[in-house]
Amino acid sequence: MKVLVVEDDVELAAQLRTALTEAGYTVECAHDGTAGEYLGATEQVAAAVLDLGLPGMDGIEVLRGWRGQGLAFPVLILTARDAWGDKVAGFRAGADDYVLKPFRMEEVVLRLSVLLRRAAGHASAEIAAGSLVFDTATAIATLDGLPLRLTAFETRILRQLMLNIGRTVSRSELAEQLYDGDTDRDFRSLEVLIGRLRRKIGEARIETRRGEGWRLLPGDPS
């Protein structure tokens, strides 16, 4: 899944990129409000981590711009401001949650995973498709109770399929969540990655819908 990080502190943005990438996300970064507002409006992002104190446009302006365009992806605000009025302004502009600086990277990752699974309609951190279970908080997948050894790309694909369990995920949607903006969308590589994931979780668990995409079965194959 693709997460947009809008943070003017380049070092902090790099730390967030590393933590989120290690958690299995694809990450785009912007270092000012204008670029962040544009990327959020033009890239197919699943969620955004947004600083309030940005050059160009502040975070509240960016968030109002997204919501004004009908963009409903979850937004986690990062702010050094602890005044109640700033928090209220963020929520009124359309924020879903906030974290006060300084913070632990683990907290950002966990809060983001909660927002994403809630947006997908899942109440629990663990999503199950029969005996296949994916923990959205830790990005660990198990099959019949045993952990699966997945690559970073395989984990990203499985996360997207599990969050959309039972629904066909198109090739373009999956590619958007798998690759960052500097990487070419290689659909042949995507086919190879799906094939590898199938061999690890069971060939019949992922259905190919020709001309449409892929669908993860909600239960164990019969």
Confidence category of residue 19, pLDDT binned at 50, 70, 90: very high
Give CA separation, 107 vs 8, 59, 78, in Å.
20, 20, 11
CATH number at 176 reads 1.10.10.10
Tell whether 115 is covered by a domain: yes
24-73 pLDDT per residue, tens: 899 999 999 999 999 999 998 999 999 998 999 999 999 999 999 999 99
Tell whether 143 is covered by a domain: yes
Residues 113 and 131 in one domain: no
125-171 pLDDT per residue, tens: 899 999 999 998 888 999 999 999 999 889 989 999 999 999 999 98
- Mind giving me the DSSP string for 54-116? -SSS-HHHHHHHHHHTT----EEEEES---HHHHHHHHHHT--EEEESS--HHHHHHHHHHHH
CATH number at 54 reads 3.40.50.2300
β-pairing, 97-100 vs 126-129, is unpaired
**Residue 197 belongs to what domain range?**
126-216
Which pLDDT value is given to residue 64? 96
Tell whether 95 is covered by a domain: yes
Q: Residue 78: name the closest of 63, 67, 68, 64 by CA.
A: 63
Tell whether 221 is covered by a domain: no
Tell whether 152 is covered by a domain: yes
Q: Can you read off the two tokens belonging to residue 24?
A: 């299995």
Residues 54 and 94 in one domain: yes
pTM over 0.85: no
> What is the C-alpha to C-alpha distance for residues 26 and 76, in angstroms, rounded to an integer?
16
Residues 138 and 83 in one domain: no
Residues 107 and 10 in one domain: yes
Place of tokens 């690559």: 151
Asked which of 76, 91, 119 is the last residue of a domain, the reply is 119
Tell whether 222 is covered by a domain: no
In the DSSP assignment, the letter for residue 182 is T
Residues 7 and 105 in one domain: yes
Q: Number of structural domains, the chain? A: 2
Q: Do 26 and 48 form a contact (C-beta atoms < 8 A)?
A: no
